[in-house]
Chains A and B, each alone.
Chain A
Amino acid sequence: MLDAKEPKPPYFLEYHPYSEYALLIQWPQIVSENILEDLSAFKKVLQNNCPDAILTAAYASILAVFPERITSFPFLKAQIKKDYELFSEEKIKEHLDPKDQSKKIKNTIKKAKNTIKTIPAQKILYKIPVCYEASFAPDLEAVCTQLKLSPEALISKHSKATYTVYGVGFLPGFMYLGGLDSKLEIPRKSSPRMKVPSGSVGLAAKQTGIYPCESPGGWQLIGQTPIPLFNPLQDPPFFAQVGDKIQFTPISKDAYKLLQIQVAAGIYKIEKTIYTKP
């Protein structure tokens, strides 16, 4: 459901010349599933029209970095603006029953050329196995005390939710996940750890996340996954895209060890399905 204050598509996009090579495209700067959906779908159109551009998406922004210096920002902006208009018109067309279409919309659709094909924004749901047992969850007990939850309740809330990938950054393959149960919101640790093990699952404010590699970090660690999130020796090294969905599956210590063996043997495959809205 749309928030009262939340704008509706087509969104008003802002274009900021970012560097000699880069243009920043900003949707209204709010965390919103609808905006992310619009952005991820438009990113595909943009990538299709600018195959050489490197497009980094996060929350409500796309940064388009080009291999050559941008000779005219006004020209580039106008191009992308046009692409977005056509994309939005196509989207309206797809979502309306022909008999409901007003004359005005019909006219706009007529004007839309065939240069833009909206690519159905198919989202993938990935299931990530997580062991929440004490030896893999150094902060679980303290977090439960602070949140006044039993470990069972915490694990259930954490693994029942479906999370949305709002961005990938901070570390190679680190996903910014939205959709955390508000009862699991807890501040970062007052003093960060020098070494958080790879695969650690943590909580920090409104976010939950998985450390894809060993790194210093201040998140509250409540579990660990045996599967590698980012593998530089694999092509592609990382599986998810901005807009995809993530769920955590609680597993036992024994299952963790088994998966570890499967990963080491190279036979593990991440569980994934096409996401359909509940």
Chain B
Amino acid sequence: MTTLVVEDLLRALTPRVLTTLVRRYGRFEDCEDAVQEAVIAAAVQWPTEGVPDNPRGWLVTVASRRLIDQIRSEHARREREAALATEAAPAEPPDTDDTLVLLFLCCHPTLTPASQTALTLRAVGGLTTAEIARAFLVPEATMGARISRAKQRIRAAGSSFALPRGAELRERLRVVLHVLYLIFNEGYTASSGSSLHRPDLAHEAIRLTRMAHARLPEDGEVTGLLALMLLTHARRDARTTAVGDLVPLDEQDRTAWDCALVDEGTALVKAALAGPALGPYALQAAIAATHADAATAKETDWAQVHALYLILERVAPNPMVTLNRAIALAETEGPAAGLSLLATLDGDDRMAGHHRLLSVRAHLLERTGDTAGAYAHYRRAAKATASLAEQRYLELWAGRVRPPRGHREEVS
């Protein structure tokens, strides 16, 4: 049994083992630590000694023992310790599927997004603290402190281990999906640093979203988010050159897109669009599917892309959506129309000096023939981004429209 197979098995088993423990003992905070220790022990033992016949039972037993040890070392009250000890090793723990409950708990609204993502990856995703720390480029101690702080906050909030209901379920599901989206995004475009792809995080986000989709197949937004991830992930190999430079959508080699992911994503979009209400993830997935549908960039159905952005703007108004609509509008009605729409974003504090606004304006100015304006905006955009790959890409574009020598650079 290879380490990789063991790793996959452990990641899949982690939420089930953890929920079994929490159901039995309560104390989510301590159970989570105990399961993490059991998982680490298994990751060391199983590849050399073989996977036990009942891996889940093994993990439950080891984690329970760790939990009891932990409570003993905390000098817990004698009665409580005794009660736990007698319950310690039932023959076969019942395997009720509480993964969703766990996911909702880890995405508790009192936590910050950084804590929600870290805790979700550890408790639901089965990653070790060290792996999560590496993925987010922080020391293990920093990540460990963040995770234990998150668990303390959940305990302080007095959260019960049950699925929220009704309106609260919808509101909490929105947070859960946002956390999954953030994990995916972090894997797809590193918010800072030199590496554009962090495939492990994207892969984990897809795995966790599949898990949620399997449990909530009727929810259009869960379906939409999974579709959006698959359609975006399908382009990963075409998105950068061998040396890590960004390749824009219209210049990507579409034969390098992953057909299986495109097909799966497209089928999910159809299912999501057939539902009663269109949510932002389903709409974004529909836009990605429209791009995937075009064999070449020239064949893109920009009218449909524009129409979908218009609906998205109504469903979830956001300056970034308007920005994207301006790109589609420039394709259907020309760059001047796109620039007029961009002008409406100038007063928005969220967009002022944002590198995306600057770079889109640069592209459109270039298309109107204003190379001096395009040059100035590419340069400003390059200065404003925190991603080295994006900076290189924008400097390259600035170089292509560089005004002749002696021209005075105007940077407002």
Interaction A to B = no
Interface residues of B (CB under 8 A from A): none
- A: residues with CB less than 8 A from B are none
